[in-house]
Structure 1
Amino acid sequence: MAASSLRTTRRAALGAFAAVGALTAGGARLQAQTAPKTFVLVHGTWHGGWCWRRVADLLASKGHKVYAPSLTGVADRSHLLTRDVNLTTHANDIANLIKWEDLTDVVLVGHSSAGFVITQAAELIGPQVASIVYLDAFVPDVGDSLISLANPGPRKALEEAVARGDLAAKPVPAAAFNVNEKDRAWVDAKCTPHPLAVVVDKVTATGSREKIARKTYIRATGFKSPVFDETLARMKTKPTWKTFEVASGHDVMVDHPDRLAEILLEVA
């Protein structure tokens, strides 16, 4: 074989190897980007697992595993409402789900008051959580309770309910959370009273949240809340936290499920 032909053949072979290598590397990157994730979505006060249906369907359609349980005493588990249902109960709801389903590398998401639940649950299942997300939620510290951090209006209503000795707090109309008009009647029909013991219980978690590698705060800018505005500002100063803002009412999973799913996949 002539020398020139040999060189051409070698160049072609090297080019083929390079192309295969590029395809393999690209395939590895694509596989890494699309590798299935596990999401545990935790609802806030008065809601239930039902509120996550749109987001859960979007994530599941992309091949991800999604759990959206209702906490004890509300929604499809409202028949379990007693005075003994407290913050520990709800934290155990989530911790035991993760434990008995043998879940690892979990993306744990808490909406609104579920910031208390996921913070407390992280004390029990922190090593299994790869990413923790606070969706327009409270980010409590030791000694905080929902009733102590709530905005003035809801706080007054909760304090009055406690003073009366009520078993549960009555739902607030969806319009108060600026839920889109089309879905307000549906949300109002689904909401159920929330156990008051959960509202007054204080967080005892001592720092497992901060040990989780990926931490995210998402603010729904269409819902007026000085508490959440202050929380967003605080999280923006922390280099270990990512922050996002969505032009939405408080129930982002109802108003903008597509955008929320995008963010959750980005921080997973």
Structure 2
Amino acid sequence: MGSENCIDKKHFVLVHGACHGAWCWYKLKPRLESAGHKVTVLDLVASGANMKKIEDVDTFSQYTEPLLFLLDTIPSNEKVVLVGHSFGGLNIALAMEKFPEKVAVGVFLTAFAPDVEHHPSYVLEKYSERTPLAAWLDTEFAPSGNKTTMFFGPNFLSDKLYQLSPIEDFELAKTLIRPSSLFMEDLTKQKNFSKEGYGSVPRAFIVCTEDLAIPLEYQLFMIQNVGFNEVVEIKGTDHMAMLCKPQELFDSLQQIATKYA
């Protein structure tokens, strides 16, 4: 039995979304670890405990550096299960583009999923077209250098992101979120992700049925647009599945990892 258990150990790399940080995985990480997996949670630049300010980050790839640095250090004979939440879908896509041989599967957790036919910004542009400015509620947008910064307001957090999550997690988020950016201006200038890079890695999508931030219909549009090897649904969860339904998310990730990693 022992050796089989060793084979089952996976390395999960968990990537947070905009304004969030490594802290948002605090319920999922111990679940994965107690199942014997290795888990890396990281703060992207100007997120969580990372010391930089968003004002000093000019490009999307600069923002993604901690993830790219991590994958660079993974031995060439190892593969990780890369999980991106929300805007983190674009970060994992960039990592899959640059290190396709080091990613067993890219998991998009109700996340923005780019395709290989359009600019990386396409999936955000389409989302903006469908999302009236009023839907952002008290989120603050501000020009900063060559980009626009974004900071979720408490109403947006409670009504659109955390509406089904425990009140304690909403309180935690209010104290820990930081201004971020969608780097639209930079992403419109980047070349498409390639079939040989990003497009060559197996992809899975985890649908969150009660997500009000990236609504179900938009999740389904992305699934249709990109094409996924695997689609798993978590019923009754808001945008913050790792806080709202951590056990169901753990089960979904186990299922995907067993198949692809």
| Secondary structure, counterpart of 1:133 in structure 2 | strand
Q: CA deviation at 1:35?
A: 1.4
Contact 1:112 1:138 (8 Å CA) reproduced: yes
1:217/1:232 contact within 8 Å kept = no
How many residues were matched structurally?
A: 239
1:171-228 deviation per Cα after TM superposition (whole angstroms, max 9, x unaligned): 24321212524221111111111146x343215322323211x321111111135665
Partners in 2 of 1:165 and 1:237 — Cα distance? 29
- Report the equivalent of 2:48: 75
Residue 139 (structure 1) aligned to one of 113, 130, 140? 113
Q: In angstroms, what is the RMSD of aligned CA positions?
A: 3.1
Residue 90, structure 1, aligned to residue 66, structure 2 = no
CA displacement at 1:158 relative to structure 2? 8.1
CA apart distance, 1:144: 3.6
For residue 212 of structure 2, what is the aligned residue in structure 1?
224
1:53 aligned residue (26, 29, 40): 26
Tell me the SS of whatever aligns to 1:132.
Answer: strand
1:90 offset after TM fit, Å? 3.1
Task: Give the equivalent residue in structure 1 for 2:132.
Answer: 152
Q: 40-49 or 79-88, which moves further after superposition? A: 79-88
Letter of the structure 2 residue corresponding to residue 224 of structure 1 = L
Return the alpha-carbon distance in structure 2 between the equivalents of residues 119 and 184 of structure 1.
28
Alpha-carbon offset, residue 265 of structure 1: 1.1
Distance in 2 (alpha carbons) for counterparts of 1:262 and 1:192: 30
Cα deviation digits, residues 39-76 of structure 1 (max 9, x gap): 01000010000001111111111111101100001110
Q: How does 1:141-220 map to 2 (within 5 A)?
A: 141=115, 142-145=118-121, 147-148=124-125, 149-150=127-128, 151-153=131-133, 161-162=142-143, 168-173=149-154, 174-175=157-158, 176-177=160-161, 178-182=163-167, 183-195=169-181, 198-202=183-187, 203-204=190-191, 205-207=193-195, 208-212=197-201, 214-220=202-208
| Secondary structure of the corresponding residue to residue 64 of structure 2 | helix
Compared CA separation, residues 166 and 99, structure 1 to 2 (3 A): closer
Local SS of the residue matching 1:47? coil
Q: Write the distance in 1 (CA, Å) between the matches of 2:55 and 2:170.
A: 28
- Partners of 2:225 and 2:147 lie apart in 1 by 39
CA contact (8 A) 1:108 1:129 kept: yes
Which structure has the greater CA radius of gyration? Answer: 1
Residue aligned with 1:75, SS: coil
Q: Distance in 1 between matches of 2:21 and 2:94?
A: 19
SS at match of 1:161: strand
Change (3 A) 1:46 1:78: farther
Q: Please say if residues 214 and 239 of structure 2, whose CA atoms lie closer than 8 Å, have aligned partners that are also in contact.
A: no
Unaligned runs of 5+ in 2: none
Seen in structure 2, the aligned counterparts of structure 1 residues 123 and 265 have a Cα distance that, compared at 3 Å, is: same
Whole-Å Cα distance in 1 between the matches of residues 242 and 224 of structure 2? 22
Q: Which residue of 2 aligns with 1:14?
A: none
Structure 1 unmatched ranges of 5 or more: 1-26
Aligned-partner Cα distance in 2 for 1:164–1:84: 9
Matched residues in 1 for 2:146 and 2:58: separation?
15
Q: Alpha-carbon deviation of 1:84?
A: 3.1
- Tell me which residue corresponds to 1:111: 85
Deviation, 1:95, is: 1.8
Using structure 2 for the length normalisation, give the TM-score.
0.79
